[in-house]
Amino acid sequence: MFYVYLVISAALIPILDNFFEILRHSYSWWLVPLLFVGFFWGLVIIHILITVIWILTIRTDRPVKKRPAFRKWINLTVPLLMKLVRVSVNASGTEKVPEDGRFLFVCNHQHDLDPVMMLSVFPDYDIGFIGKKEIYKTMPIIGKAMHGLCGLPIDRENNREAAKTVVEAVHILKEGKASIGLFPEGYTSKSCELLPLRNGSLKIATKAKVPIVVCVLNNTRSIPKRMFLHHTEIEFRVLSVITPEEYEGMNTAELGDVIHSQMKTALDEIRSSK
């Protein structure tokens, strides 16, 4: 949408001139760039307002459901916002993920913006993220957006409530509503070092019998410090796709060890290459 809005902004100038003859005066040389910038940011603001209003209509007290139109709009919004804040994702290994089916995407967690990075890499996979329940109270717009994308809140301090979220996520996968995005560390890593995984969350895959897409990302904690002023590049890798046949017979602790090892090796490699 970024480039679409640039083209529309440029096209609006001659259209406006057709009615008001603004390009036929001596001051046109400074009015043209001013109008171009004004039109562009006007379109961006309208886009953001539509997004916020749409999100506010979503009710989190109702069960999650597929919202194809909302998801398509978010898929347009994410790259627009990333372009505005000068963030790009260097993604590799995405060809390993089959085009069809539902998956459990697991990834390390460095910043609250990590789900946005994953959405930008996998716009066609209908991912709903599991996030801490506090988001739904402290950041209600984010919580509503997550709910609209088939996301779920999880109580990290209450195992019984967390188990209910796992069951609900399994239902979402089995019913084909969405794939599930999971950050099994449970917390963002402020040091960016990989934390121990909460292996119980992997029951989402073992109970739903879906492939597990193992991913890592790096450098998202730099985004708030650099946005708008400097370009930030995020490294994102798909490491493997573990099929149900491959993890059959493994308990969640063993499966977690395999995933943790893959993630740690990849993150060490990414950082050593910087």
Q: Which residues, in sequence order, are bridge partners of residue 106?
A: 182, 214
Q: What is residue 23's predicted lDDT score, i.e. its pLDDT?
A: 66
- Is residue 97 pLDDT above 90, yes or no? yes
Element (H, E) at 154: strand 152-154
pTM of the model: 0.88
pLDDT in tens, 25-68: 666 666 788 889 999 999 999 999 999 999 999 998 898 899 99
Q: Where in the chain is the domain with CATH 3.40.1130.10?
A: 86-272
d(CA 130, CA 26): 58
Contact between residue 210 and residue 104 where contact means Cβ atoms under 8 Å apart: yes
Ranges of H-type helices in the chain: 2-20, 28-56, 68-84, 114-121, 134-138, 140-148, 159-174, 203-208, 223-226, 244-247, 252-272
Sheet containing 179-182: give its strands across: 87-92, 232-242, 212-218, 104-107, 179-182, 127-132, 152-154
pLDDT in tens, 132-165: 888 888 889 999 999 999 999 988 778 788 889 9
Element (H, E) at 107: strand 104-107
Q: Phi, psi at residue 240, to the nearest 5°?
A: -165, 165
The answer to whether domain 86-272 has CATH 3.40.1130.10 is yes
Which residue, 71, 215, 75, 61, is CA-closest to 153?
A: 61
Residues whose CB is less than 8 angstroms from the CB of residue 187 and which lie 6 or more positions away in sequence, other chains included: 109, 156, 195
